[in-house]
Amino acid sequence: MKIIEAKAFIKNLRLKKPYTIARQQIEDVENVFLEIKLENGITGIGAANPEFEVVGESPADTLINLENEIVPWLTGKDIRSFNALIDSVNTKLPHKPGTLACLDIALHDTFGKFIDMPVADFYGRCHHSLPTSVTIGILNMQQTLEEATAFKALGFRILKLKTGVSPEEDAEKVIRLREKFGNYFTIRVDANTGYTIAQLQHFINLTRKQPVELIEQPLAASHDKALENLPFSTRKFLAADESLKDAASAFALCKSERYGIYNIKLMKCGGIKSAFNIASVVESAGAKLFWGCNDESIISITAALHAAYACSHTRYIDLDGSFDLAEDIVEGGFIVKDGMMSITNTPGLGFKKI
pTM for this predicted structure = 0.95
Residue 38 contacts residue 110 (beta carbons within 8 Å): yes
Query: Would you give the DSSP letter of residue 24?
Result: -
Structural domains of the chain sorted by starting position, each given as residue range(s) with its CATH number in brackets: 3-116 (3.30.390.10), 120-353 (3.20.20.120)
At residue 276's C-alpha, the angle toward residues 37 and 4, to 5°, is: 10
- Could you tell me which residues are beta bridge partners of residue 353? 330
**Span 67-76, average pLDDT:** 97
How far, in Å, CA of 79 to CA of 112, rounded?
10
Residue 28 is predicted with a pLDDT of: 81
pLDDT digits (tens, 9 = 90+) for 5-34: 999 999 999 888 776 655 567 778 899 999
Residue 119 is predicted with a pLDDT of: 98
Is the pLDDT reported for residue 135 higher than 80? yes
Residue 324 is predicted with a pLDDT of: 85
- Could you tell me which residues are beta bridge partners of residue 34? 8, 46
Is the pLDDT reported for residue 148 higher than 80? yes
Residue 21 is predicted with a pLDDT of: 59
Residue 19 is predicted with a pLDDT of: 64
pLDDT digits (tens, 9 = 90+) for 108-126: 999 999 999 999 999 999 9
- Looking at the chain, the whole-number percentage of residues with pLDDT higher than 70 is 98
DSSP-assigned states of every residue in 203-269: HHHHTTTS--S-EE--S-GGGGGGGGGS-HHHHTTEEESTT--SHHHHHHHHHHT--SEEEE-HHHH
- Looking at the chain, the whole-number percentage of residues with pLDDT higher than 90 is 92
Is the pLDDT reported for residue 79 higher than 70? yes
